[in-house]
Structure formats: structure tokens, C-alpha cells
Amino acid sequence: MEAKKRIFSGIQPTGNLTLGNYIGALRNFKLLEDEYDCLYAIVDSHAITVRQDAAELRKACLRTMAIFLASGLDPEKNILFFQSHVHQHAELAWILDCYTYMGELSRMTQFKDKSKKHADNINCGLFAYPVLMAADILLYQTDLVPIGVDQKQHLELARNIAERFNSLYGGTFAVPDGYFPKVGAKVMSLQEPTRKMSKSDPEETYIAILDKPEVIRRKLRRAVTDSEADVRFDPELKPGVSNLMSILSALTGASMDAIAADFSGKGYGAFKDAVADAFVAVLEPIQKRYDEISADKVYLEKVMLEGAERADRLAAPTMRKVRKKVGLAPTKL
């Protein structure tokens, strides 16, 4: 029997996970768990490249784990864990730093963007962030990494580092490929529909997974459309309406033509109400399950500890191989 291919993906715990995170990532993660060996990390070490309130970050980590579980991810079929609980991530990142060039990192667009946003804290961790991301992936001999357009540059760097290391020392790392989900939609900002919905933007620009129905309806009523009152899919001329149509299609399975026909002549009020109804129908069951899981601290801790142990067992052989190849002293004689 052919071994399953391995998938790795990480999500930062900071900010509120959005509808975009659900459609683009969490919902698709659930669809992969029977076909692939899947590891999903809450990448809390990445989060501290920006100053965080310690207590709030710990809460955010647990909240994100609870959302993973509430979204349907089975901790028996998937390895769910906190990045910082598996020490090999940091260990491998340091070694790979020594095989990554300054020029490669200085070209990374995320470093340029975050340096502008956090001009008072342009730290070494922010600069080397993509190497830790490469370590996250390569540590587990990952075959496939679910990515969007904005992550292609990071995956390409991980591939380059793996190939460079392999050429020096022989086959050590699997060279990962991108995985592009069959089911999904690019979810754009409610206020700037030419930009991707982001949990780091102001709250009125996104729908959070934990937003209550009245909040969802308020945000949808304020969502940017245009002055035509014509529900038609045209991303160039009608980006706001097209964004809402894409989301509605992703949540309900309805085609763009069917959505346009359903709301022909009804105006944007009825259209936005229907989009809000679809949001609520999808998110309410997740929120109910989230409340149950969040209240069960014993269960959360069990998932957290078992996930870290399983990830550690997979990471250890890679680290032993890497340490030997670069000449570090063995831990046992």
C-alpha cells in the first residue's frame, strides 16, 4: 500500500480568525484528513516577531486550538499542536539560517511590508521569519503545503534551502510542493474589496469566525458595494459585489449565474441579507462547538500534549540526520 503524502500548514494565533481563514484553510483541512497525513500547527513562535501581551497571546493560542477543533478537525486523524512545544522547530531554524543568504531574505516581500508597519521594531526574528517557516515545513519531510498566492515566495525559499542542503549532504529533506485546494474562494476585505480579508486589519473589514449574528449582519450592511444595485459578477468593475457573490457561492455551492438570477431586480439590501444568513448558518454551529470545547480545559490540554508528542516523534529523526550531516556532536555516544 502506497504511503500517504504528508501535508503541513501553520496558522498564527494572533488576531481573530476570519471567514477567509475558514473558507481558505480550515474547511479544506477537514477535507484532507482521510487522504493525507496532516500536521497543523499554531505557529506561536512566529507571532513574537511583533510585540505581544504575554497573557493575551496564551489566550489566543488556546482560542485558535479550540477553533481548529470546533471547525471539525479530528485530533486522531490530524496532528494538531503548538509550534513552540516542539523544540526541533527552533533548532532546525538556526541550522538552516546558516544555509540561507542575506540577499534571499532581504527580497522577501513580507519583511518589507512588516518593516513598514512596525518601523520601531525591525528585529532579526522578523528578518529570519521565512527560515523558521522553512524549518516548520522541512522538519516533517512535508510533501505538500497548502498555500495562497501570497505564500508562494515563502514556499519557494523553503524549496531552495532544501535543495541547497541536499546538494551539499545528499538526500536529507523532501522538497515540498504547493497544494492548491479544489474547494475555496479568495475572500476579500468588506471595506476594500480589492484587498484580501486579513485578521490584522480593522474589525469592520472582516467577518470573524466567532462574530455573533448581529455583528455579522451589521458588518454586511456596511460592506462596500457600488451605486448600481445590480447583482452581477464582475471583479474588475464591481469588486465589492463580486466578493460577496464569491463568498456566497463558496458557502452554498450556488453558481454565480444562479446567484445573479436569484437577486435580479431585488437590490443590494436583500442580497446582503442573504449573504449574512449564509454566514450565520455556517458559523453558528462552529461557535456552539467552540463554546463547549473552550469550557473543557482537560480536553484541550489532552489534545495539546498529545499533538506535541506526536509531532516530536516525527521531527526527531530529521533532526538526528541533520545534526549528523552538519557535524554536531551526538547527544548519545
Exactly one of 4, 59, 114, 272 is catalytic; name it.
114
**Strand pairing of 144-146 and 177-179?**
parallel
For the question of residue 182 being annotated catalytic, the response is: no
Closest CA to 172 of 323, 309, 312, 39: 323
For the question of residue 297 being annotated catalytic, the response is: no
Q: b/e per residue, 80-119, with b = 16+ CB within 10 A?
A: bbbbbbbebbebbbebbbebbeeeebeebeebeebeeeee
**Which residues 6+ apart lie within 8 Å of 112 measured at CB?**
none
Handedness of CA 45, 51, 57, 63 (dihedral sign): negative
Closest CA to 96 of 149, 172, 199: 172
For the question of residue 30 being annotated catalytic, the response is: no
CB 65 within 8 A of CB 80: yes
* Amino acid, res. 82: F
Give the C-alpha separation, 247 to 268, whole Å.
15
CB 147 within 8 A of CB 180: yes
Exactly one of 196, 219, 238, 272 is catalytic; name it.
196
Sheet containing strand 78-82, strands side by side: 78-82, 37-42, 6-11, 144-146, 177-179
Exactly one of 186, 199, 219, 324 is catalytic; name it.
199
Q: Which residues are catalytic?
A: 114, 196, 199
